[in-house]
């Protein structure tokens, strides 16, 4: 037999590079704290159920606590020969307390152990992600409140469409984040389930108490099926798909920050703190952080595709393929948290150039819908009104004149029922102000939306 933990039925050792290929210790050591927590809960359960005598369980508990201290002090050394975090920690425990360490694995398998670790790992990080989303929502809400009445062009097809409130624009992202947050909260529910005690795949003949260990680990529920418990990675898939949707939102937001701070738009300026210069062009101020967030969405989508593909053809229960579940999850965790924090910082510190936004509205035809609506309200069928307004826009383009600058006589030539009050209808401010349908960009509606958002956040 070989010196491996499972070496009993083996006569030959793999070569080092083969061990290296199979090992996960390079990355799963990120779950060392969770592995020790899981082991502590398991051995406390073994003691409670008298599967292990109290004095032996206590030795193991003390040993695990020593390892916790050493981990915190960065004093643990892991080896490739011990393959993964589970066997590394068991080997280290044996060094601490001797052969009694071998009793820890009674009524347990690495299969329920690794699943437990990943659940614990993600549960903790999900809470951080949710907090970071909340902080970005707060930043957006505060900025939106300041800019409820700041006008900007609203776009479709990246062409001026209709004037909107900048606060309304910001609140659109708040709403997306509200859904993202809900998705991660739901994800937390599916992560808060204990696989511990499922053992290798079929449960165990020992009189274990799964409730007890789950309680120790603060899990709300137990997996009701041992095969499912060790095979389920839905909670990780959910995390990666939620993270992907989140990154779609952040990426779209960042794309607009990048556009808005370009010379051609000039609607905002990002703080120096979130911008970089050029090594050759002295005048440059680049929105690097926003670009990088836009770019990092790619790796998150990759993480999701990677795990979907790993899992799709796997027979139940554990297969070594599942070792590939972790790196994508770790990568997504360490990517989305700083992305959220940087977005929060950028929102909090950006300068709004309301004069530039307003100027963009004084020199466009984004009030053409106002003219069509004005005519429709006089009883002209909307299709006809649309055509009259369109013709006036065409004249305006040819004669370099905006609708609001055309003399009343020219307007009346196109449609005799037009009166002096048309100019009020054509002002961008009134165009926004008068949009008072539920959820619209009108100031009153934006104010209500913000009030409602505050109420929702008060319950977070
Ligand atoms: N390192 C393994 C993983 O990450 C732990 C579980 C191994 N279980 C097994 N039966 N080989 O998935």
Return the residue matching tokens 């940087």: 342
Residue 378 and residue 328 share a domain: no
Structure tokens at 201: 């795949």
pLDDT of amino acid 100: 98
User: Same domain, yes or no, for 282 and 400?
Assistant: no
Ligand 1 atom at minimal distance to the Cα of residue 84: 1
**330 within a domain of the structure (yes/no):** yes
Q: Which element (helix H / strand E) includes 221?
A: strand 221-222
266 falls within a domain: yes
What pLDDT score was predicted for residue 1?
65
In a domain, 376, yes or no: yes
Q: What is the set of active-site residues?
A: 157, 278
pLDDT of residue 281: 85
Nearest CA to ligand 1 atom 1: 84
- Beta pairing class for 151-156 and 159-165: antiparallel
Contact 330, 117 (CB under 8 A): no
> For a substitution probing ligand 1, which of 14, 29, 83, 110 has the most ligand atoms within 8 Å of its CB?
110
Helices 32-48 and 54-72 pack at an angle, to 10 degrees, of 170
417 and 345 both lie in a single domain: no
Portion of the chain with pLDDT greater than 90, in percent: 94
Residue nearest to atom 2 of ligand 1 (CA): 323
Q: Has residue 128 got a pLDDT over 90?
A: yes
Interface confidence, given as ipTM, is 0.97
Same domain for 83 and 21, yes or no, is yes
Same domain, 348 and 289: yes
- The parent domain of residue 414 ranges over 360-458
Regarding whether 364 and 350 lie in a shared domain, the answer is: no
* Length of the chain in terms of residues written: 460
| Per-chain mean pLDDT for the chain | 96
> Do the domain assignments include residue 58?
yes
Q: Say if residue 57 is in the same domain as residue 196.
A: no
Residue 2 lies in a domain: no
pTM (2 d.p.) = 0.94
Token readout for 114 is 């690794």
Residue 155 shares a structural domain with residue 250: yes
Instruction: For helices 54-72 and 85-97, give the axis angle rounded to 10 degrees.
Output: 110
Task: Answer with the one of 106, 133, 158 that is the final residue of a domain.
Answer: 106
Residues with CB under 6 A from ligand 1: 24, 28, 84, 86, 110-111, 114, 318, 320, 322-323
Per-residue pLDDT reduced to its tens digit, 215-251:
999 999 999 999 999 999 999 999 999 999 999 999 9
Out of 354, 372, 387, a domain closes at 354
How far apart (Å, rounded) are the C-alpha atoms in residues 211 and 214?
A: 5
Higher-scoring residue by pLDDT: 8, 312:
312
pLDDT at 303: 98
CA-CA distance, 434 to 422, in Å (whole number)? 14
* Residue 13 predicted with pLDDT over 90: no
Alpha helices in 226-351 (DSSP H): 226-231, 234-260, 288-312, 326-349
- The last residue of one of the domains, among 285, 319, 354, is 354
- 174-183: average pLDDT: 98
pLDDT in tens, 20-75: 999 999 999 999 999 999 999 999 999 999 999 999 999 999 999 999 999 999 99
Q: Are residues 270 and 345 in the same domain?
A: yes
Q: Stretch 176-204: mean pLDDT, rounded?
A: 98
How many angstroms separate the alpha carbon of residue 320 from the centre of ligand 1?
Answer: 6
The count of domains in the chain is 3
- What does each C-alpha distance from 211 to 33, 42, 81, 208, 220 come to in angstroms? 21, 11, 34, 9, 9
Q: What is the CATH number of the domain that holds 38?
A: 1.10.275.10
| Mean pLDDT to the nearest integer, 94-105 | 98
Residue 313 CA, ligand 1 centroid: distance in Å: 18
What is the spatial distance between Cα 350 and Cα 167, in angstroms, rounded to a whole number? Answer: 14
CATH of the domain at 399: 1.10.40.30
Of 29, 108, 318, 319, the residue with max ligand 1 atoms within 8 A of its CB, to mutate for a pocket test, comes to 318
Q: Is the pLDDT of residue 407 over 80?
A: yes
Span 344-353, mean pLDDT?
98
Q: Please give the pLDDT value at position 5.
A: 82
Quick check: 122 pLDDT over 80?
A: yes
Residue 1 lies in a domain: no
Mean pLDDT of 85-111: 98
- The alpha carbon of 324 and the centre of ligand 1 are apart by a number of angstroms equal to 10
Q: State which of 84, 201, 230 you would mutate to test the pocket of ligand 1, scoring each by most atoms of that ligand within 8 A of its C-beta.
A: 84
* Structure-block tokens of residue 69: 């201290």
Centroid of ligand 1 to alpha carbon of 198 (angstroms): 14
434 and 401 inside one domain: yes
At 165 the three-state DSSP class reads strand
Can you give the CATH number for the domain in which 276 is found?
Answer: 1.20.200.10
106, 118, 442, 446 from 301: Cα distances, Å: 39, 20, 36, 33
CA-to-CA dists, residue 124 to 131, 133, 137, 219, 460, angstroms: 11, 15, 21, 12, 17
**138, 206: one domain:** yes
Residue 361: pLDDT over 80: yes
Question: Would 217 be classed as within a structural domain?
Answer: yes
Does residue 385 share a domain with residue 307? Answer: no
Asked, for residue 161, whether it belongs to a domain, the answer is: yes
Chain center to CA of 268: 25
């Amino acid at each position: 037999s070989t010196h491996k933990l499972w070496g009993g039925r083996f006569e030959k050792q793999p070569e080092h590079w083969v061990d290296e290929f199979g090992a996960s210790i390079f990355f799963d050591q990120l779950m060392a704290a969770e592995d020790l927590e899981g082991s502590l809960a398991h051995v406390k359960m073994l003691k409670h159920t008298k599967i292990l005598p109290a004095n032996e369980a206590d030795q193991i508990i003390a040993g695990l606590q020593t390892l916790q201290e050493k981990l915190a002090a960065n004093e643990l050394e892991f080896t490739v020969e011990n393959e993964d975090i589970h066997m590394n920690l068991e080997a280290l425990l044996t060094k601490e307390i001797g052969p009694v360490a071998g009793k820890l694995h009674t009524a347990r398998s690495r299969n329920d152990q690794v699943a437990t670790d990943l659940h614990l790992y993600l549960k903790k990080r999900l809470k951080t992600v949710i907090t970071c989303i909340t902080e970005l929502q707060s930043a957006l809400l505060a900025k939106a409140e300041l800019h409820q009445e700041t006008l900007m062009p609203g776009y479709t097809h990246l062409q001026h469409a209709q004037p909107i409130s900048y606060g309304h624009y910001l609140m659109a992202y708040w709403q997306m984040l509200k859904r993202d947050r809900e998705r991660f909260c739901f994800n937390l529910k599916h992560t808060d389930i204990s696989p511990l005690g499922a053992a290798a795949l079929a449960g165990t003949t020992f009189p274990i108490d799964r409730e007890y260990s789950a309680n120790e680990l603060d899990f709300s529920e137990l997996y009701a099926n041992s095969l499912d418990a060790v095979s389920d990675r839905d909670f990780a898939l959910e995390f990666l798909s939620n993270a992907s949707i989140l990154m779609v939102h952040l990426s779209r937001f960042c794309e607009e920050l990048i556009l808005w701070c370009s010379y051609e738009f000039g609607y905002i300026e990002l703080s120096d703190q979130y911008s970089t210069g050029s090594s050759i062009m002295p005048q440059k101020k680049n929105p690097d952080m926003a670009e990088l967030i836009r770019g990092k969405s790619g790796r998150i989508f990759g993480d999701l595709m990677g795990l979907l593909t790993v899992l799709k053809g796997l027979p139940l229960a554990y297969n070594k393929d599942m070792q590939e579940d972790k790196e994508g999850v770790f990568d997504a965790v360490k990517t989305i948290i700083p992305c959220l924090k940087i977005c929060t910082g950028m929102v909090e510190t950006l300068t709004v150039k309301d004069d530039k936004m307003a100027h963009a509205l004084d020199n466009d035809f984004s009030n053409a819908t106002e003219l069509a609506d004005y005519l429709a309200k006089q009883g002209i069928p909307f299709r006809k009104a649309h055509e009259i307004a369109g013709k006036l826009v065409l004249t305006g383009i040819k004669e370099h004149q905006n609708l609001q600058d055309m003399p009343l006589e020219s307007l009346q030539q196109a449609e005799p029922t037009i009166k002096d009050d048309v100019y009020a209808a054509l002002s961008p401010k009134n165009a926004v102000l008068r949009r008072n349908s539920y959820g619209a960009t009108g100031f009153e509606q934006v104010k209500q939306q913000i009030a409602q958002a505050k109420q929702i956040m008060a319950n977070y």
